[in-house]
């Protein structure tokens, strides 16, 4: 896992090269909405891209992480099925339903049944290298989504320059990122992380939560501001030093949200002494998101390493899949 995190920017560059060289069937029709289907490490890209391109997309982008697709899906919907292995049962069921509704379909995968279906039915698809844990393939699976949205005229920018800027920033800052990750790791040991972010960066918060779950084998939760100011903030009433607040911050967070964060800290500090603020770097939302994702990945790995546990082990998920296979 350490090597895969180290290769994050290499994965991004490799994926951009693959996506650029992949010939996609042109599309001249009119689409009304987009549904991105995927779960876990295969689905987080959809959560993040929907926020990154929010000001560029010409139609709604919905993320689906279930067996069933929404009723609005029809022949004017672009459905992007994402499954790193190509065999995720939920994604394959969603694909089948999308086909029944005559939706336009595109896929991102490394192989498996999804690739077989895409090839047999001539669906636009981008094939990325396989063999990694899905959560460690984010750098490979994320860029193709931008190329697909651009191919279907959902977004006007290609974002390649922003990806390249993010790669340069992360490579330049890598030693500082690792140093910061080590410091944060020490503060999070034997704690339950409570993760907060601006609503426009919720995908980043979700990614960090998932990485803490899978890599560090820890429970945690996340929420977004301002929504949590209307509910969860009231729950901060009991002193609990087992909790550690982690706030992802960006210079483009809405100014009133930034003020909320400052006020929220005065509440948190009454009940826990561990409050960690993580600031992004970059000039665009995409660059900042990738920076925070990479820093969060390092933290999750370093916690696991310090605990002396196997980062890649997901036996309980394997057990669940084995039980489902009996049905």
Catalytic residue numbers, as ranges: 214, 230, 321
User: Are 191 and 243 spatial neighbours (Cβ–Cβ below 8 Å)?
Assistant: yes
Distance CA 325, CA 321 (A): 6
Looking up tokens 């704690």 gives 191
Helix H or strand E encompassing 195: strand 192-198
User: Are 143 and 163 spatial neighbours (Cβ–Cβ below 8 Å)?
Assistant: yes
The two tokens of residue 155 are 């977004």
User: Are 63 and 88 spatial neighbours (Cβ–Cβ below 8 Å)?
Assistant: no
User: Are 248 and 278 spatial neighbours (Cβ–Cβ below 8 Å)?
Assistant: yes
Picking from 193, 274, 262, the residue whose alpha carbon sits closest to that of residue 226 is 262
User: Are 4 and 136 spatial neighbours (Cβ–Cβ below 8 Å)?
Assistant: yes
């Amino acid at each position: 896992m350490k090597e895969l995190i180290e290769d994050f920017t290499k994965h991004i560059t490799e994926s951009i090269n693959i996506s650029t060289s992949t010939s996609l069937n042109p599309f001249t029709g009119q689409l009304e909405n987009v549904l991105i289907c995927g779960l876990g490490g295969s689905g987080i890209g959809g959560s993040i891209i929907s926020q990154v391109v929010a000001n560029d997309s010409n139609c709604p982008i919905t993320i689906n992480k279930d067996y069933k697709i929404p009723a609005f899906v029809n022949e004017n919907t672009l459905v992007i099925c994402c499954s790193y292995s190509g065999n995720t049962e939920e994604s394959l069921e969603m694909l089948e339903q999308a086909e029944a509704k005559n939706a336009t379909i595109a896929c991102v995968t490394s192989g498996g049944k999804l690739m077989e279906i895409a090839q047999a039915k001539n669906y636009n698809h981008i094939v990325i290298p396989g063999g990694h844990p899905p959560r460690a393939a984010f750098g490979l699976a994320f860029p193709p989504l931008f190329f697909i949205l651009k191919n279907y005229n959902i977004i006007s920018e290609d974002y390649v320059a922003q990806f390249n800027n993010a790669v340069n920033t992360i490579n330049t800052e890598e030693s500082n990122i690792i140093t910061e990750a080590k410091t944060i790791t020490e503060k999070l040991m034997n704690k339950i992380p409570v993760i907060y972010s601006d609503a426009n960066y919720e995908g980043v918060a979700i990614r960090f939560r998932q990485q803490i779950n899978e890599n560090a084998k820890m429970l945690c939760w996340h929420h977004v501001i301002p929504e949590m100011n209307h509910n969860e903030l009231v729950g901060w009433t009991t002193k609990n030093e087992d909790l550690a607040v982690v706030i992802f911050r960006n210079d483009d967070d809405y100014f009133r949200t930034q003020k909320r964060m400052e006020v929220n800290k005065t509440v948190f500090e009454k009940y826990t002494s561990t409050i960690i603020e993580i600031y992004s770097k970059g000039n665009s939302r995409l660059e900042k998101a990738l920076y925070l994702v990479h820093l969060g990945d390092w933290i999750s790995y370093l916690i696991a390493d310090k605990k002396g546990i196997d980062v890649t082990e997901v036996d309980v998920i394997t057990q669940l899949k084995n039980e489902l296979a009996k049905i």
